[in-house]
Structure 1
Amino acid sequence: MAAPSTERSLNFDVIVVGAGLMGSCAAHAAASRGARVLLLERFDLLHQRGSSHGESRAIRDTYPQPHYPPMVRLARRLWDDAQRDAGYAVLTPTPHLDLGPRDDPNFRAVVASGATELAPTGAAPRPAWAEAFRVPEGWAAASSELGGVIKATKAVAMFQALAAKMGAVVRDRTEVIDVVAGKK
Protein backbone atom coordinates (compact mmCIF):
# COMPACT_ATOMS: atom_id res chain seq x y z
CA MET A 1 0.00 0.00 0.00
CA ALA A 2 1.51 3.33 -1.03
CA ALA A 3 1.85 6.05 1.55
CA PRO A 4 -0.32 9.11 1.01
CA SER A 5 1.60 12.04 -0.46
CA THR A 6 1.33 14.02 2.78
CA GLU A 7 3.39 11.34 4.58
CA ARG A 8 6.23 11.60 2.08
CA SER A 9 7.20 14.96 3.48
CA LEU A 10 7.12 13.85 7.11
CA ASN A 11 10.35 13.55 9.02
CA PHE A 12 10.82 10.62 11.35
CA ASP A 13 13.18 10.21 14.28
CA VAL A 14 13.11 6.43 13.94
CA ILE A 15 12.34 4.20 10.97
CA VAL A 16 11.92 0.52 11.78
CA VAL A 17 12.19 -1.92 8.90
CA GLY A 18 10.35 -5.15 9.64
CA ALA A 19 7.15 -5.31 11.69
CA GLY A 20 7.61 -8.69 13.34
CA LEU A 21 7.80 -9.00 17.09
CA MET A 22 11.18 -7.28 17.48
CA GLY A 23 10.38 -4.47 15.03
CA SER A 24 6.92 -3.86 16.46
CA CYS A 25 8.35 -3.79 20.01
CA ALA A 26 11.05 -1.35 18.86
CA ALA A 27 8.46 0.92 17.23
CA HIS A 28 6.33 0.84 20.39
CA ALA A 29 9.34 1.59 22.62
CA ALA A 30 10.46 4.53 20.46
CA ALA A 31 6.94 5.95 20.15
CA SER A 32 6.40 5.62 23.90
CA ARG A 33 9.46 7.83 24.40
CA GLY A 34 8.03 10.54 22.15
CA ALA A 35 9.90 9.72 18.93
CA ARG A 36 8.25 10.18 15.54
CA VAL A 37 8.23 6.60 14.28
CA LEU A 38 7.67 4.93 10.93
CA LEU A 39 7.22 1.13 11.04
CA LEU A 40 7.53 -0.58 7.65
CA GLU A 41 6.64 -4.15 6.72
CA ARG A 42 7.32 -5.69 3.33
CA PHE A 43 4.37 -8.09 3.56
CA ASP A 44 0.98 -7.89 5.29
CA LEU A 45 1.27 -6.86 8.93
CA LEU A 46 0.48 -10.28 10.38
CA HIS A 47 1.96 -12.46 7.63
CA GLN A 48 3.13 -16.03 8.29
CA ARG A 49 6.54 -15.77 6.58
CA GLY A 50 8.76 -14.99 9.57
CA SER A 51 9.33 -16.25 13.07
CA SER A 52 6.88 -13.81 14.69
CA HIS A 53 3.70 -15.75 14.13
CA GLY A 54 1.80 -18.62 15.64
CA GLU A 55 0.52 -19.48 19.04
CA SER A 56 3.68 -19.65 21.08
CA ARG A 57 7.20 -18.44 21.63
CA ALA A 58 9.09 -18.97 24.86
CA ILE A 59 10.64 -16.35 27.09
CA ARG A 60 13.12 -17.20 29.84
CA ASP A 61 15.75 -15.49 31.95
CA THR A 62 18.19 -18.40 32.13
CA TYR A 63 21.15 -17.78 29.85
CA PRO A 64 24.83 -18.56 30.35
CA GLN A 65 25.80 -15.09 29.10
CA PRO A 66 25.62 -12.75 32.12
CA HIS A 67 24.23 -9.75 30.20
CA TYR A 68 21.00 -11.52 29.10
CA PRO A 69 19.18 -12.23 32.42
CA PRO A 70 18.99 -8.56 33.50
CA MET A 71 17.70 -7.59 30.03
CA VAL A 72 15.02 -10.30 30.17
CA ARG A 73 13.96 -9.21 33.65
CA LEU A 74 13.55 -5.63 32.40
CA ALA A 75 11.72 -6.92 29.32
CA ARG A 76 9.26 -8.80 31.55
CA ARG A 77 8.38 -5.56 33.34
CA LEU A 78 7.93 -3.85 29.96
CA TRP A 79 5.73 -6.73 28.74
CA ASP A 80 3.56 -6.27 31.84
CA ASP A 81 3.29 -2.52 31.14
CA ALA A 82 2.35 -3.10 27.49
CA GLN A 83 -0.28 -5.69 28.39
CA ARG A 84 -1.74 -3.32 30.96
CA ASP A 85 -1.90 -0.55 28.35
CA ALA A 86 -3.49 -2.90 25.79
CA GLY A 87 -6.00 -4.29 28.27
CA TYR A 88 -5.26 -7.93 27.51
CA ALA A 89 -2.53 -10.52 28.04
CA VAL A 90 -0.28 -12.08 25.41
CA LEU A 91 2.30 -13.55 27.81
CA THR A 92 1.47 -16.41 30.15
CA PRO A 93 4.03 -16.70 32.97
CA THR A 94 5.25 -20.24 33.58
CA PRO A 95 8.16 -21.77 35.46
CA HIS A 96 11.12 -22.61 33.22
CA LEU A 97 13.25 -25.74 33.56
CA ASP A 98 16.79 -26.18 32.24
CA LEU A 99 18.49 -29.57 32.13
CA GLY A 100 22.15 -30.19 31.47
CA PRO A 101 25.31 -31.98 32.50
CA ARG A 102 25.94 -31.01 36.13
CA ASP A 103 29.53 -29.89 35.46
CA ASP A 104 28.90 -28.17 32.12
CA PRO A 105 30.14 -24.54 32.24
CA ASN A 106 27.02 -23.26 30.46
CA PHE A 107 24.73 -25.06 32.92
CA ARG A 108 26.75 -23.72 35.86
CA ALA A 109 26.45 -20.20 34.37
CA VAL A 110 22.65 -20.61 34.12
CA VAL A 111 22.55 -21.47 37.83
CA ALA A 112 24.84 -18.52 38.60
CA SER A 113 22.47 -16.22 36.66
CA GLY A 114 19.75 -16.84 39.22
CA ALA A 115 18.14 -20.19 38.40
CA THR A 116 17.59 -22.51 41.35
CA GLU A 117 19.34 -25.85 41.05
CA LEU A 118 16.95 -28.59 42.02
CA ALA A 119 17.92 -31.17 44.60
CA PRO A 120 18.62 -34.68 43.29
CA THR A 121 15.66 -37.06 42.94
CA GLY A 122 14.18 -37.93 46.30
CA ALA A 123 15.83 -35.04 48.14
CA ALA A 124 13.85 -32.12 49.48
CA PRO A 125 12.85 -29.47 48.59
CA ARG A 126 11.67 -30.10 45.02
CA PRO A 127 8.73 -28.42 43.31
CA ALA A 128 5.85 -30.82 42.68
CA TRP A 129 6.10 -30.38 38.90
CA ALA A 130 9.75 -31.48 39.00
CA GLU A 131 8.65 -35.02 39.91
CA ALA A 132 7.49 -35.47 36.30
CA PHE A 133 11.11 -35.45 35.08
CA ARG A 134 13.81 -38.08 35.44
CA VAL A 135 17.16 -36.36 35.29
CA PRO A 136 19.89 -38.61 33.82
CA GLU A 137 22.85 -39.61 35.95
CA GLY A 138 25.45 -36.82 35.97
CA TRP A 139 22.92 -34.22 34.89
CA ALA A 140 21.14 -31.57 36.93
CA ALA A 141 18.00 -29.49 36.68
CA ALA A 142 17.55 -25.80 37.42
CA SER A 143 14.31 -23.85 37.55
CA SER A 144 13.33 -20.24 37.22
CA GLU A 145 9.99 -18.58 37.87
CA LEU A 146 10.58 -16.08 35.05
CA GLY A 147 9.70 -18.32 32.13
CA GLY A 148 6.69 -17.78 29.97
CA VAL A 149 4.82 -18.45 26.76
CA ILE A 150 4.08 -15.59 24.38
CA LYS A 151 1.17 -15.70 21.92
CA ALA A 152 3.35 -14.45 19.10
CA THR A 153 0.82 -13.25 16.50
CA LYS A 154 -1.34 -11.59 19.15
CA ALA A 155 1.76 -9.93 20.66
CA VAL A 156 2.82 -8.51 17.28
CA ALA A 157 -0.66 -7.07 16.77
CA MET A 158 -0.65 -5.64 20.30
CA PHE A 159 2.67 -3.81 19.86
CA GLN A 160 1.65 -2.47 16.44
CA ALA A 161 -1.64 -1.16 17.85
CA LEU A 162 0.10 0.42 20.86
CA ALA A 163 2.73 2.05 18.61
CA ALA A 164 0.01 3.46 16.33
CA LYS A 165 -1.95 4.70 19.35
CA MET A 166 1.18 6.61 20.38
CA GLY A 167 1.46 8.24 16.97
CA ALA A 168 3.65 5.82 15.02
CA VAL A 169 2.90 5.48 11.33
CA VAL A 170 2.53 1.78 10.48
CA ARG A 171 2.72 0.69 6.83
CA ASP A 172 2.52 -2.79 5.40
CA ARG A 173 3.23 -3.98 1.86
CA THR A 174 6.08 -1.44 1.73
CA GLU A 175 9.40 -2.87 0.62
CA VAL A 176 12.58 -1.00 1.53
CA ILE A 177 14.93 -1.25 -1.45
CA ASP A 178 17.65 1.20 -0.41
CA VAL A 179 18.82 3.26 2.53
CA VAL A 180 20.62 6.51 1.82
CA ALA A 181 22.12 8.71 4.50
CA GLY A 182 20.66 12.19 4.34
CA LYS A 183 21.48 15.60 5.70
CA LYS A 184 20.03 16.72 8.97
Structure 2
Amino acid sequence: MATLRERKRRRTRQAIVDAAVELFERDGYDGTTIADIAAAADIGTRTFFSYFASKEEVLFPDADGRVEAALAAIADHAPDERPADVLLRALRSLNGPDDMVGRVTALRLRLVRTVPAVRGRGLQIQLEAQQKIAQALQPAFPDDLDEVSAAALVGAFVGAVSGALQVLLASPPGDPDEVNRRLYAATDLALRPWLTPR
Protein backbone atom coordinates (compact mmCIF):
# COMPACT_ATOMS: atom_id res chain seq x y z
CA MET A 1 0.00 0.00 0.00
CA ALA A 2 1.27 3.46 -0.92
CA THR A 3 2.36 5.77 1.86
CA LEU A 4 0.69 9.12 2.45
CA ARG A 5 3.70 10.84 0.88
CA GLU A 6 3.52 8.64 -2.24
CA ARG A 7 -0.21 9.28 -2.61
CA LYS A 8 0.36 13.02 -2.26
CA ARG A 9 3.08 12.92 -4.92
CA ARG A 10 0.76 11.02 -7.28
CA ARG A 11 -2.03 13.56 -6.72
CA THR A 12 0.32 16.50 -7.31
CA ARG A 13 1.73 14.90 -10.44
CA GLN A 14 -1.79 14.28 -11.77
CA ALA A 15 -2.81 17.85 -10.92
CA ILE A 16 0.11 19.15 -12.98
CA VAL A 17 -0.84 16.95 -15.96
CA ASP A 18 -4.52 17.92 -15.72
CA ALA A 19 -3.68 21.63 -15.49
CA ALA A 20 -1.29 21.43 -18.43
CA VAL A 21 -3.77 19.58 -20.65
CA GLU A 22 -6.50 22.09 -19.83
CA LEU A 23 -4.22 25.05 -20.60
CA PHE A 24 -2.73 23.52 -23.77
CA GLU A 25 -6.23 22.89 -25.11
CA ARG A 26 -7.50 26.35 -24.13
CA ASP A 27 -4.49 28.61 -24.76
CA GLY A 28 -2.37 26.50 -27.09
CA TYR A 29 0.99 24.92 -26.37
CA ASP A 30 3.03 28.03 -27.17
CA GLY A 31 0.60 30.22 -25.26
CA THR A 32 1.11 28.25 -22.05
CA THR A 33 4.10 28.71 -19.75
CA ILE A 34 5.41 26.52 -16.97
CA ALA A 35 4.42 29.29 -14.56
CA ASP A 36 0.85 29.10 -15.93
CA ILE A 37 0.77 25.33 -15.38
CA ALA A 38 2.19 25.62 -11.87
CA ALA A 39 -0.35 28.32 -10.93
CA ALA A 40 -3.25 26.27 -12.30
CA ALA A 41 -2.03 23.22 -10.35
CA ASP A 42 -1.67 25.37 -7.22
CA ILE A 43 2.06 24.72 -6.85
CA GLY A 44 5.24 26.74 -7.30
CA THR A 45 7.44 26.48 -10.38
CA ARG A 46 10.18 24.83 -8.30
CA THR A 47 7.71 22.10 -7.39
CA PHE A 48 6.84 21.68 -11.08
CA PHE A 49 10.50 20.92 -11.83
CA SER A 50 10.64 18.25 -9.14
CA TYR A 51 8.05 16.33 -11.21
CA PHE A 52 8.81 17.26 -14.83
CA ALA A 53 11.96 18.54 -16.52
CA SER A 54 10.11 20.60 -19.13
CA LYS A 55 6.74 21.53 -20.60
CA GLU A 56 7.16 18.73 -23.18
CA GLU A 57 7.61 16.12 -20.43
CA VAL A 58 4.10 16.75 -19.10
CA LEU A 59 2.68 15.30 -22.33
CA PHE A 60 4.43 11.96 -21.70
CA PRO A 61 3.46 11.22 -18.09
CA ASP A 62 3.08 7.46 -18.53
CA ALA A 63 6.09 6.72 -20.72
CA ASP A 64 8.10 5.07 -17.94
CA GLY A 65 5.10 3.03 -16.82
CA ARG A 66 4.61 1.63 -20.30
CA VAL A 67 8.25 0.58 -20.53
CA GLU A 68 8.00 -1.00 -17.06
CA ALA A 69 4.88 -2.93 -18.16
CA ALA A 70 6.79 -4.32 -21.14
CA LEU A 71 9.82 -5.22 -19.04
CA ALA A 72 7.60 -6.93 -16.44
CA ALA A 73 5.81 -8.93 -19.14
CA ILE A 74 9.17 -10.03 -20.57
CA ALA A 75 10.50 -11.03 -17.14
CA ASP A 76 7.32 -13.02 -16.38
CA HIS A 77 6.90 -14.68 -19.77
CA ALA A 78 5.56 -18.22 -19.89
CA PRO A 79 7.67 -20.97 -21.47
CA ASP A 80 5.25 -21.33 -24.40
CA GLU A 81 4.95 -17.58 -25.14
CA ARG A 82 6.68 -16.11 -28.14
CA PRO A 83 8.24 -12.63 -28.06
CA ALA A 84 5.36 -10.93 -29.91
CA ASP A 85 2.82 -12.55 -27.57
CA VAL A 86 4.63 -10.99 -24.63
CA LEU A 87 4.64 -7.51 -26.19
CA LEU A 88 0.92 -7.67 -26.95
CA ARG A 89 0.20 -8.91 -23.41
CA ALA A 90 2.11 -5.90 -22.07
CA LEU A 91 -0.01 -3.57 -24.21
CA ARG A 92 -3.21 -5.09 -22.84
CA SER A 93 -1.96 -4.88 -19.24
CA LEU A 94 -1.96 -1.08 -19.21
CA ASN A 95 -4.47 0.27 -16.71
CA GLY A 96 -7.97 1.12 -17.80
CA PRO A 97 -9.55 1.76 -21.19
CA ASP A 98 -8.32 5.36 -21.25
CA ASP A 99 -4.63 4.63 -20.70
CA MET A 100 -3.67 4.47 -24.37
CA VAL A 101 -6.58 6.37 -25.87
CA GLY A 102 -7.47 9.09 -23.38
CA ARG A 103 -7.38 12.86 -23.50
CA VAL A 104 -3.63 13.21 -22.87
CA THR A 105 -2.78 10.76 -25.65
CA ALA A 106 -5.05 12.51 -28.15
CA LEU A 107 -3.58 15.91 -27.27
CA ARG A 108 -0.03 14.58 -27.41
CA LEU A 109 -0.56 13.11 -30.88
CA ARG A 110 -2.05 16.40 -32.08
CA LEU A 111 0.89 18.40 -30.72
CA VAL A 112 3.47 15.94 -32.07
CA ARG A 113 2.19 16.82 -35.54
CA THR A 114 2.41 20.59 -34.99
CA VAL A 115 5.06 21.40 -32.35
CA PRO A 116 8.67 20.47 -33.18
CA ALA A 117 9.77 20.42 -29.50
CA VAL A 118 7.02 17.93 -28.61
CA ARG A 119 7.79 15.83 -31.69
CA GLY A 120 11.50 15.77 -30.82
CA ARG A 121 10.88 14.77 -27.20
CA GLY A 122 8.39 12.11 -28.29
CA LEU A 123 10.85 10.59 -30.73
CA GLN A 124 13.59 10.58 -28.10
CA ILE A 125 11.33 8.85 -25.56
CA GLN A 126 10.19 6.34 -28.17
CA LEU A 127 13.75 5.50 -29.23
CA GLU A 128 14.92 5.06 -25.63
CA ALA A 129 11.91 2.85 -24.87
CA GLN A 130 12.49 0.68 -27.94
CA GLN A 131 16.13 0.17 -26.97
CA LYS A 132 15.31 -0.80 -23.37
CA ILE A 133 12.60 -3.23 -24.41
CA ALA A 134 14.70 -4.83 -27.17
CA GLN A 135 17.68 -5.19 -24.81
CA ALA A 136 15.45 -7.10 -22.38
CA LEU A 137 13.60 -9.12 -25.04
CA GLN A 138 16.60 -10.64 -26.80
CA PRO A 139 18.19 -12.38 -23.78
CA ALA A 140 14.75 -13.61 -22.68
CA PHE A 141 14.34 -15.35 -26.06
CA PRO A 142 17.89 -16.20 -27.16
CA ASP A 143 16.74 -19.08 -29.41
CA ASP A 144 14.28 -16.86 -31.27
CA LEU A 145 15.99 -13.48 -31.48
CA ASP A 146 19.37 -11.94 -31.99
CA GLU A 147 19.98 -8.25 -31.23
CA VAL A 148 18.93 -7.12 -34.71
CA SER A 149 15.72 -9.15 -34.87
CA ALA A 150 14.76 -8.09 -31.31
CA ALA A 151 15.20 -4.43 -32.32
CA ALA A 152 13.17 -5.03 -35.49
CA LEU A 153 10.32 -6.77 -33.64
CA VAL A 154 10.09 -4.06 -30.98
CA GLY A 155 10.24 -1.41 -33.72
CA ALA A 156 7.37 -3.13 -35.55
CA PHE A 157 5.37 -3.30 -32.31
CA VAL A 158 5.93 0.36 -31.37
CA GLY A 159 5.29 1.46 -34.95
CA ALA A 160 2.04 -0.53 -35.08
CA VAL A 161 0.76 1.02 -31.86
CA SER A 162 1.84 4.52 -32.86
CA GLY A 163 0.47 4.27 -36.39
CA ALA A 164 -2.88 2.88 -35.27
CA LEU A 165 -3.28 5.58 -32.60
CA GLN A 166 -2.47 8.35 -35.08
CA VAL A 167 -5.49 7.30 -37.15
CA LEU A 168 -7.79 6.26 -34.31
CA LEU A 169 -7.29 9.53 -32.41
CA ALA A 170 -7.22 11.91 -35.40
CA SER A 171 -10.81 12.83 -34.54
CA PRO A 172 -12.47 12.78 -31.10
CA PRO A 173 -11.83 9.25 -29.88
CA GLY A 174 -15.35 8.28 -28.84
CA ASP A 175 -15.84 5.06 -26.86
CA PRO A 176 -12.46 4.11 -25.31
CA ASP A 177 -13.34 0.40 -25.29
CA GLU A 178 -14.01 0.45 -29.04
CA VAL A 179 -10.82 2.41 -29.73
CA ASN A 180 -8.86 -0.10 -27.64
CA ARG A 181 -10.50 -3.01 -29.47
CA ARG A 182 -9.45 -1.57 -32.82
CA LEU A 183 -5.95 -0.79 -31.49
CA TYR A 184 -5.50 -4.39 -30.30
CA ALA A 185 -6.84 -5.78 -33.58
CA ALA A 186 -4.45 -3.60 -35.59
CA THR A 187 -1.39 -4.54 -33.51
CA ASP A 188 -2.36 -8.23 -33.64
CA LEU A 189 -2.55 -7.95 -37.42
CA ALA A 190 0.81 -6.17 -37.68
CA LEU A 191 2.57 -8.76 -35.50
CA ARG A 192 0.71 -11.83 -36.80
CA PRO A 193 3.81 -13.43 -38.40
CA TRP A 194 5.52 -13.49 -34.98
CA LEU A 195 2.55 -14.68 -32.88
CA THR A 196 1.99 -18.16 -31.48
CA PRO A 197 -0.58 -19.93 -33.68
CA ARG A 198 -3.93 -20.25 -31.91
Give me the TM-score of the superposition, normalised by structure 2. Answer: 0.31
Of Structure 1 and Structure 2, which has the larger fraction of its residues in helix? Answer: 2
Of Structure 1 and Structure 2, which has the larger fraction of its residues in strand? Answer: 1
